[in-house]
Amino acid sequence: MSLSPELEALIAPLLKGHANRQRRKAARRSVGVAAALLTAAALGAVALAASNSWIFKEDHGFALGKTNVLFHGANYTVATYVSSDGRSFNIGLSQGKQTLVDSVGRSWLRAPGVAADPRFPNPPPPSGAAIYGNRYASEGGEIWFGISRPDIARVDLTDQHGVVFSAATVQPPRVYRSAFRFWVIAVPSSHATSYTAYDYDDTAIQRSPLTATTIMSLY
């Protein structure tokens, strides 16, 4: 699926920025997603008891969201920062204080309550992927986490045996502007190979092979 020259020009700095961020990971973590992950213990037993729920709060102008996942008897945390304009984010998976996987991204789509990107004020209807995901693999299973477009209510992942794993997408409270919805799915003992994205009428609007990525751009 190709991008327009305009979108390629907009995404290029994001790609470059992510590469620089990886090279300077320790410095960036103080203000990036790892900062959220390092404070995961603050959620305590309340978060552990609500493994499918997200908790959002304001943190230095960002919307900070967290949820916990029980996987092979161990607890993991997924945390995301959404920028104050609601159009960029980073998201990561940690266990304790160790960051395991993280991703960054941006949206140019129309989104309720989110101002248009001034560099791309009149976006066409969505033409890219409906969802993006990244994964952590362990003991023959996987934890998948990622984002979806604002019109996606549910994500199904199908593994190599045809078994389907499903999760509702989560929208941050409207007080925190966000062009993204978030999702997490644990696949305990297999490998997810494809996804199906559903709208609010439970209509399947996109099916596609599933590929883990560190860059998630909605367009």
- Closest by CA to 75, choosing from 106, 49, 54, 57, is 49
Quote the CA–CA distance of 170 and 34 in Å, as a whole number.
Answer: 21
Q: Which domain holds residue 124?
A: 5-218
Max CA pair span of the chain: 48
Q: How many domains does the chain have?
A: 1
Strand arrangement, sheet containing 131-138:
131-138, 141-148, 181-187
Strands of 74-153, DSSP E: 74-82, 88-95, 98-107, 131-138, 141-148
Radius of gyration of the CA atoms of the chain, in A: 17
- What are residue 168's DSSP bridge partners? 154
pLDDT values of the chain reduced to their tens digit, one per residue, 219 residues: 444 554 455 555 555 555 555 544 433 443 344 333 333 333 332 322 233 489 999 999 999 999 999 999 999 999 999 999 999 999 999 999 999 999 999 999 999 999 999 888 888 899 999 999 999 999 999 999 999 999 999 999 999 999 999 999 999 999 999 999 999 999 999 999 999 999 999 999 999 999 999 999 999
Helix (H) or strand (E) holding 207: strand 204-209
CATH number of the domain bearing residue 108: 2.60.40.10
- DSSP 8-state secondary structure symbol assigned to residue 5: H
> In 24-48, which ranges are continuous DSSP H helix?
25-28, 33-38, 44-48
